[in-house]
Structure 1
Amino acid sequence: MKRLFTISGIFTLLLFSQNTFAQEVQSEPKMVYKGDNIKKNTQNRTIILTGNVMLKTKNISLVNAEKVTIDEKNNTVTIYNPKDFKLLYAKTVSKKGESNKNIIVYNTKEESITFQ
């Protein structure tokens, strides 16, 4: 009887401790942005920011970009001529060709950066 009580007590403690030590599910990554002009197209699910664009996510940060296009359908952020670009984290970083277009494409789903 004493053994049954001990086993059931341990089982109960394990059951309740699962909620205590479980990790929180992270919410959707947040993106903060502002620019002189903002155009939202709800049909295409795109946002075009122009003029002194500032953008901050958990993985990238930039200020004073000429233009930024956020494509929610394709999970991409295209950055044109950023003045101060900071890469905080990326799973993959690549460069396309030898062009000096100063365009950066950030894939929010794959967490990848492509310099074009």
Structure 2
Amino acid sequence: MDETASPVESADCRAISEVLSRVGDKWTMQVVVTLSDGPRRFNDLKRRVEGISQQMLTRTLKALERDGMVKRTVCATTPPQVEYDLTALGRSLAEPARRLAQWVRGHLGIIHANRRQYDSRR
């Protein structure tokens, strides 16, 4: 970091870094994109987010709820059912997440080729 940065700029950078760390998390992006199609119950989300454990999905949803990106609704049924949905803030993240995923898909072959080339020099 630039040593001439003011304390306000440094705090701002740390705050931005913290949010980017959450947003850039492997599971966060998949949960947000999955929820962008509409509300889902926990087990439905777990089935759709390939490879996520129950514990990791719980942690991810709690973190997203804490950040105000996901709304958790308990339905008054017997037994109670819980549904998760994106808030307006979460929906505003879903579109850039989809665009980033499209960019990755479009460049994955090049990235893999570059990795192989790099690794062959080692």
TM-score (norm 2): 0.29
Structure number with higher relative contact order (C-alpha < 8 Å, ≥ 6 residues apart): 2
Larger radius of gyration: 1
Query: Which structure shows the bigger proportion of residues in strand conformation?
Result: 1
